[in-house]
Amino acid sequence: MNTAQPTPGATRPGGRTARTRAAVLAAVFDELGEGGYAALSMERIAQRSGIHLATLYRRWRSVERLLCDLLADMSERVPLPDNGSLLADLRALAATIARFYAEPRHHGLIEAVVSAAAREPQASNALREFFDDRLRLAGRMVVRAVERGEVPAGTDPGDVMAALGAPFYYRMLIARRPVDAELIESAASAAYVSARAGVFVRGTTTGNDEWK
């Protein structure tokens, strides 16, 4: 059971709270697009969003936490494929990742969040929880593939998803080169071939309960 406290501002009830969060995150996104991470400040976000500065500090406490909340919010809109084939699912997800980060502000967001995580322990925790959550959700594709007999029993879903995503983050954050169609195909194919070969088998069971 996860007993960790939720990140401030990360709750998603309806009504005024949801409207406040939407306005603030939209302001963060716009500010990031105009001035980049270096120019972000709680004061500028408050002014653009129309939300009182004290509210921002009470709910989010820092720019770094706002960035992590924005990344989580945007990633929830990324659909997870279910095409009946693991290779097709991996290709579709890789293409979705590429399209998402083709938007300069999205690219800037991941750079800003990684930078924030290096500076602020709570932002680092939020980033890790974000990736854990996305790996868990995407890992359902691997669970389905195991059930279809496409990949061996015991294939670790998180390892497969990490193998798919790692080339994108290396390309963007380390090599600092564009994401292209060749990367989409190579990342998806490499993750699939490795999974089929049993590279990601970690035990005698698939651990389905954890990934459902």
Q: Please report the pLDDT score of residue 212 as a whole number.
A: 55
Distances (CA, A) of 143 to 2, 74, 185: 22, 25, 22
DSSP string, 110-176: HHHHHHHHHH-HHHHHHHHHHHHHHHHHHTHHHHHHHHHTSS-TTB-HHHHHHHHHHHHHIIIIII-
Residue 201, beta-bridge partner list: 155
Domain boundaries, the chain: 16-61, 73-211
73-211 topology per CATH: Tetracycline Repressor; domain 2 (1.10.357)
Secondary structure (3-state) at 65: helix
Structure tokens at 52: 């009182």
Q: For the whole model, what pTM was predicted?
A: 0.76
How high is the mean pLDDT in each 10-residue block of the chain (212 residues)? 41 72 94 85 96 95 86 81 95 92 83 82 79 84 96 95 93 90 96 97 60 54
Amino acid at 138: A
Q: Please report the pLDDT score of residue 156 as a whole number.
A: 95
Amino acid at 160: V
Architecture of domain 16-61: Orthogonal Bundle (1.10)
Q: Please report the pLDDT score of residue 32 as a whole number.
A: 86
